């Protein structure tokens, strides 16, 4: 069935370093790839997303890259800060264009710790 694998499960970096989280998806029809940040005791919050017609998207210190051929996508956080510490989830979906219901398949999550 549809599956999204996410690595690493935990990531520890020093403040100011970069962090990279990688995901691989199995459904070749997926065309929408969001990333969510979940802080302790809160619900997931969308931080960035990318569609299959785009290879890269940036928003300040956050960027996402997509390789549709390899079915890989990655989250890059530069100049990390302690407030970036959270659990990050990737997800893949066929999106609403396909007429579906925007079923999101989530990765298992990455716990990022940024140390001052």
Partner 1 sequence: NAGVTQTPKFQVLKTGQSMTLQCAQDMNHNSMYWYRQDPGMGLRLIYYSASEGTTDKGEVPNGYNVSRLNKREFSLRLESAAPSQTSVYFCASRKPGVGTDTQYFGPGTRLTVL
Footprint on this chain of partner 1 (rule: CB under 8 A): 4, 6, 9, 32, 34, 36, 41-46, 49, 89, 93, 95-97, 101-104, 106-109
110 CB-near residues (< 8 Å, 6+ apart): 6, 7, 8, 9, 10, 11, 21, 87, 88, 89
Structure tokens at 56: 């890269």
State the minimum distance, in angstroms, from the CB of residue 116 to partner 1.
Answer: 27
Q: Select 41 or 116, whichever has its Cβ closest to partner 1.
A: 41
Cβ 83 to partner 1 shortest distance, Å: 19
Least separation, in Å, of the C-beta of 38 and partner 1? 9
């Amino acid at each position: 069935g549809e599956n999204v694998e996410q690595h690493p499960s935990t990531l520890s970096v020093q403040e100011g370093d970069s962090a990279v989280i990688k995901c691989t998806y199995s459904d070749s029809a997926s065309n929408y790839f969001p990333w969510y940040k979940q802080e302790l005791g809160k619900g997931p919050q969308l931080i960035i997303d990318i569609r299959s017609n785009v290879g890269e998207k940036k928003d300040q210190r956050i960027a996402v890259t997509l390789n549709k051929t390899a079915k890989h996508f990655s989250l890059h956080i530069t100049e990390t800060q302690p407030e970036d510490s959270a659990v990050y989830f990737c997800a893949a979906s066929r999106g609403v264009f396909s007429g579906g219901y925007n079923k999101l398949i989530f990765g298992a999550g990455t716990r990022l710790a940024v140390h001052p």
